[in-house]
Amino acid sequence: MPIYRAPIRDLQFVFHELFYADRILAALPGFDETSADLVDAILEEGAKLFEQEIQPLNQSGDSEGCRFNHGVVTTPNGFREAYLAYTEGGWCSLSADPEYGGQGLPETISFMLEEMLTSANVSFSLYPGLTRGAINAISSHADDELKARYLPKMIEGIWSGTMCLTEAQAGTDLGLVRTKAEPRGDGSYSITGTKIFITGGEQNLTENIIHLVLARLPDAPPGVKGISLFLVPKRRLNENDEPAEPNGVSCGSIEHKMGIRGSSTCVMNFDQAQGFLVGPENRGLACMFTMMNAERLAIGIQGLGLGEVAYQNAAAYARERLQGRAATGIAAPDQNADPLLVHPDIRRMLLTTRAYNEGARALAVWTAINIDLSHRHPDSAKRAEAEDLVALVTPVIKAFFSDYGYETTTLCQQVLGGHGYIQEWGMEQFVRDARIAQIYEGANGIQALDLVRRKLFMHGGRLPARLFQLIADYLEQQQENSNLQPYLQQLGAALNLLQKLTGWLIAEGGSNPDQLGAAATDYLRLFALVTIAWMWVQMIALAQRRQGGDEADFYHSKLQVGRFFMGRLLPQIHSLEMAIRSGSDLMMDMHEADF
Ligand SMILES: Cc1cc2nc3c(=O)[nH]c(=O)nc-3n(C[C@H](O)[C@H](O)[C@H](O)COP(=O)(O)OP(=O)(O)OC[C@H]3O[C@@H](n4cnc5c(N)ncnc54)[C@H](O)[C@@H]3O)c2cc1C
């Protein structure tokens, strides 16, 4: 069975040492009790639950999958008990609003736990994950009555939440949604329609399921401007706010899929179900984006979580497995072959995975800190700056982390050779589980378009300008740091390239919109590599300062992995530049009939 040990030391390195996050967060209103000790205690407690109770269900959950019987969905054995342990431990309520029973802790802490939970068991993580997103949307847009009736039980985890957007004809293009909402005359609405691919749409973990459904009011304008958001419980609440009679919501079937088989993916039928409007009429998509943006970051974290657990298993295997001899001479004379780790190509695969993981972890924590700043900083200008940065990197985290997660789980599978292809070792499950993150929550091509078509242009280019300025400021602050010079030069050149390409893309896109679409995916990857390089140079600088002291091995390996990222992975930007500049004609000149 695959192993997993939560990377607590590395999370502490990023949280405490790199960003001094406990101090930043404790200075924000409402977070004054955030201390290094509190964060460490939460990480350790979470790690215990995830490693000991939730990770052992990952492989069995995959082979059993979810079962469907006449509208009833049963999750794999052990999921119910583990979910109970999760809710009773208060893990659902960590960052939720204390007014409704939440613990009011920083989002940054939830982000770090999310990584661990997805490493342990992605399928399981989706049940509380979607609920957290639904809580965010309800908290931000519902009226006080809905909040008071629904939030406390959702925050406790006794009720779950879902996100019901997709219909058979409406995937990426939500303007095509057909589900209807008709006023009942009592302030509520009758919701009728069928949604597909709904994660956790039906399950046996919670006593009620609160669906957030996109639907159209009568006479709503066509397209995305005519969509409203409704809260639709599986069971209606009685006068004591307890779940009572069924509400015309049923599960028609569940999907049989490549991965995340412990997560139920449901066809959901709404037959005159009673729903309540969330946010203004016809502004449903904007309200749903509160949930979708949070989910996009969480989906990116799945790539990181799976990359981490895949790395741990591949590294352990490469240490034990004896095959061939080192090219430079026998490394283990007492054995009849050397461990795989002596081979440069094995090290290439392991270091690629680790360098992405550790760089991505730093970027994830930096982003989470900015989320907390955007919610709580007393200065509105600081809140706006943090909000810009989060908006800019959200598609980058969603798409790049999930792309590299699929790449690196495949590399780690390769380290195991044939054993990587066999179920028993668990590596093929990581690959299968990683694949969906590139598709759902807005396919990665759509994330790339969000970056190049929207985020680069918003507020006259303010978003990328802010990030580029932060990196330029860092380069300037460090210019006297002689040990860091080679890395500063690389980062400076990479930033320069990114800025030049951004300008080029904006200019080209003005005259030919297909240039943006043709360049989008490569540009997003280049953007991610430069941003992660910024994280790595900061980590290298820190490791250089600490390398002579305690934990010399930890800092030494941080330096090695950083060197690998800067020397071996960052240079991809040059081939990406060539691909970006090659333009859209290479795709668009092909006649449709020739495809
Ligand atoms: C396991 C699973 C769980 C899911 N969970 C949920 C859930 O909980 N709730 C929910 O509402 N949905 C859910 N989904 C649906 C998921 O979000 C959609 O599948 C996804 O958004 C893509 O939509 P689609 O499948 O219709 O693909 P399409 O929209 O048909 O897209 C197909 C391809 O075309 C590309 N494309 C589409 N439009 C454009 C364009 N304008 N420009 C360029 N390229 C384009 C896309 O990038 C994609 O690669 C889930 C799906 C799966 C498989």
Residues within 6 Å of ligand 1 by CB: 163-166, 171-172, 197-199, 257, 265, 436, 439-443, 445-446
Query: Ligand 1 center to residue 454 CA distance, Å?
Result: 19
Structure tokens at 561: 């992995």
Q: What is the mean pLDDT of the chain?
A: 97
Q: Which residues share a beta bridge with 199?
A: 265
Provide the pLDDT for residue 91.
Answer: 96
The 10 Å CB-count burial string (b at 16+, else e) for 271-310 is: eebbbbbbbeebbbbebbebbbbbbbbbbbbbbbbbbbbb
Provide the pLDDT for residue 292.
Answer: 86
Provide the pLDDT for residue 123.
Answer: 98
In a domain, 344, yes or no: no
Percent of the chain with pLDDT over 70: 100
In a domain, 281, yes or no: no
Question: Residue 331 to residues 317, 324, 343: CA-CA distances in angstroms?
Answer: 17, 10, 11
**What sign for the dihedral angle of Cα 475, 479, 481, 487?**
positive
Instruction: Evaluate whether 311 touches 357 at the Cβ level (below 8 Å).
Output: yes
Is the pLDDT at 207 greater than 90, yes or no?
yes
Nearest CA to ligand 1 atom 20: 440
Is the pLDDT at 289 greater than 90, yes or no?
no
Is the pLDDT at 510 greater than 90, yes or no?
no
Residue whose tokens read 């039928």 = 269
Length, in residues, of the chain: 595
Query: Ligand 1 center to residue 200 CA distance, Å?
Result: 17
In a domain, 70, yes or no: no
Provide the pLDDT for residue 515.
Answer: 95
Provide the pLDDT for residue 487.
Answer: 98
In a domain, 564, yes or no: yes
* Residues 426-450 pLDDT 10s: 999 999 999 999 999 999 999 999 9
In the chain, the number of structural domains is: 1
Average pLDDT score over residue span 363-390:
97
In a domain, 495, yes or no: yes
In a domain, 478, yes or no: yes
User: Which of these is catalytic: 53, 167, 308, 441?
Assistant: 441
DSSP character at residue 101: T
Residue of 296, 435, 446 to test ligand 1 pocket, by largest number of atoms within 8 Å of CB: 446
Is the pLDDT at 291 greater than 90, yes or no?
no
* Residues 317-332 pLDDT 10s: 999 999 999 999 999 9
Provide the pLDDT for residue 290.
Answer: 81
* Residues 518-530 pLDDT 10s: 999 999 999 999 9
Domain interval for residue 527: 454-589
In a domain, 514, yes or no: yes
State the number of CA atoms in the 13 A half-sphere of 276 facing the CB. 17
In a domain, 486, yes or no: yes
